[in-house]
């Protein structure tokens, strides 16, 4: 098959390398600083799922879609930050003759909806990724940890599209564990719950996840975030993997937080590096959907506003 990976950072480069190693044609849209090094040295992936390598010239590397020849792609993968989704969708929609499937492999919620609005439900997939990828140095990506296999699914609950099955089979065969599911929204909301409870508060206070769970005061704030997020998900007509906020809280504090106790929030790292955060796809998404659904989300509203303030101050 032929794949286009739009916004190829650590995740995009890793999956691109693995697919190319397995014989697929892969085009990467990536930053110029990576293009020249990969053209000269090729690309390697190491880590928990083994070693993969493609020689120089094996991947087609471009910095924008104007450099492409318009050949058909079976799948286009979006691996950008959530705040770049709108631009990514516009660029991909302008690809001459493209009739394939678009897969959002991004963090946060709201990305899949933008893809569906542009390409229709039959050509849109979402994927949940809870695997750690890091660029060890340009040309080498390390897969550091994985909490679960990649899940991919379609827009309709209770239905697994054939495109999701074929995509999952290709990615899984290439070496990255992946499966198709009948309700990707549950997985995306699970990741949203975890991120919203920890990421914004940790970014505002400048601490790791464990420091938040050790504080009685912070637990009260996180409890409210979890409760508000559950109410919003319910008002939107979706379900989660858990029977309510109280059940989730037990799992969250007893099982989820301890395994990432020392992790520093990605929002905090973005702020420290003077980069934009994904606040609007996380806690800002909950606040916005709450307003649309008539659900009060005072805690999420305040945290989203504070993250925006810190982001503007540092940038």
- The set of catalytic residues is 191
Closest to 50 (Cα-Cα) out of 8, 25, 17, 1: 17
Q: Which residues, in sequence order, are bridge partners of residue 232?
A: none
Which residues make Cβ contacts (< 8 Å) with residue 296, sequence separation at least 6?
228, 290
CB within 8 Å of 192: residues ≥ 6 apart: 108, 109, 229, 282, 285, 286
Q: Are 65 and 96 in contact (CB under 8 A)?
A: no
Burial class (CB in 10 A: 0-12, 13-18, 19+), 237: exposed
């Amino acid at each position: 098959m032929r794949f286009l990976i739009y916004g190829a950072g650590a995740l995009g480069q890793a999956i691109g390398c693995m697919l190319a190693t397995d014989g697929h044609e892969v085009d990467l849209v990536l930053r110029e600083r990576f293009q020249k090094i990969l053209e000269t040295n090729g690309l390697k992936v190491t880590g928990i799922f083994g070693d993969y390598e493609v020689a120089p010239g094996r991947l087609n590397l471009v910095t924008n879609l104007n450099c492409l020849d318009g050949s058909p792609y079976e799948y286009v993968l979006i691996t950008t930050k959530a705040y770049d989704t709108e631009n990514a969708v516009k660029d991909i929609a302008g690809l001459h003759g493209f009739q394939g499937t678009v897969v959002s492999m991004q963090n946060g919620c709201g990305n899949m909806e933008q893809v569906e609005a542009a390409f229709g439900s039959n050509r849109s997939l979402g994927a949940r990724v809870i695997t750690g990828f890091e660029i060890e140095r340009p040309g080498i990506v390390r897969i550091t940890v994985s909490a679960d296999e990649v899940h991919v699914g379609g827009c309709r609950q209770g239905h697994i599209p054939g495109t999701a099955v074929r995509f999952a089979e290709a990615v899984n065969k290439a070496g990255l564990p992946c499966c198709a599911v009948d309700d990707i929204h549950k997985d995306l909301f699970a990741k949203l719950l975890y991120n919203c409870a920890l990421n914004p508060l940790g970014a505002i206070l400048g601490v790791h996840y464990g420091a938040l769970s050790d504080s009685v005061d912070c637990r009260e704030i996180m409890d409210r975030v979890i409760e508000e997020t559950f109410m919003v998900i319910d008002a939107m007509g979706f379900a989660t993997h858990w029977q309510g906020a109280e059940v989730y809280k037990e799992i969250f504090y007893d099982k989820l937080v301890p395994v990432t106790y020392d992790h520093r929030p990605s929002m905090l790292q973005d702020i420290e590096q003077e980069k934009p955060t994904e606040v609007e796809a996380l806690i800002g998404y909950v606040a916005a959907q709450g307003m649309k659904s008539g659900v009060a989300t005072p805690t999420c509203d305040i945290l989203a506003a504070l993250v925006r303030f810190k982001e503007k101050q540092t940038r």
